[in-house]
A and B are shown apart, each in its own frame.
Chain A
């Protein structure tokens, strides 16, 4: 069974902290994505990656960075967490040119 695993289901961090969200996929997919999901705004793409060490900005990259050192792992970094980054974060992966994406279970991040 295909799997995208996010390191935490729930996180509470303080304003100004550096936050790491980790995502691992076991399907040997080339593409990986980070979204955030907020009520009334739907899913918005933060960053994506086509390959190891490759990254592309999505619609809302400000305040975030990413790292992809290995094919199976894609990390989202909040350099200095702020309260407006409180959200549900979803990682996804897909194969090659396919856009049929498989999602992780999500990380609900609260910044206080």
Chain B
């Protein structure tokens, strides 16, 4: 059974204080790893897809990286508007379903 664990559950940062969110996974053949951002009371919004170990994707202050066992979402010099819950999900080779982690709630204080 595929499993996705995100840590920490919650993270408080000062504006400008860089940090990383972790997504550890076990999956029967990784087809893709997905990062989403979710604002309170809204549906998740797609950020990145990573397909193979060593791959990196960037968008503004966010950079996602992938190894064979985990993915990191690095946030450089965050701003208050980066506050949200960040979700990680994996797709295996066999199925058509995504398995989601529990998310990391990020709060950036000005």
Contacts and interface: CB of A to CB of B under 8 A. Distances in A.
A44 B101 CA distance: 10
Interface stretch (A14-22, A61-69, A74-82, A95-103): A95-103
Give the interface size bracket for B toward A: 20 to 34
B103 A106 contact: no
Interface string B13-45: 000000000000000000110101000011111
Given A42-B103, A99-B91, A100-B34, A90 B43 contact: yes
Contacts of B31: 99
A42 B44 contact: no
Contacts, number: 52
Interface in B60-98: 87, 89, 91, 96-98
What is the interface of chain B mostly: helix, strand, loop, or mixed? strand
A31 interface: yes
Nearest to B42: A105
Given A42-B102, A50-B96, A58-B97, A99 B32 contact: yes
A104 B96 contact: no
B43 A41 contact: no
Contacts of B87: 42-43
Given A101-B46, A102-B46, A103-B45, A40 B102 contact: yes
Interface size class of A (residues with CB under 8 A): 20 to 34
A111 interface: no
Contacts of A90: 43-44
A100 B46 contact: yes
B86 to A, nearest CB: 12
B51 to A, nearest CB: 11
Kindly list the 7 A-B residue pairs having the minimum CB-CB distance in the complex, ordered from nearest.
Answer: A103-B43, A43-B100, A42-B102, A99-B91, A42-B100, A103-B44, A106-B43
Given A48-B97, A56-B96, A102-B46, 9 more contacts: A42-B102, A48-B96, A59-B97, A92-B43, A101-B46, A103-B44, A104-B43, A105-B41, A106-B43
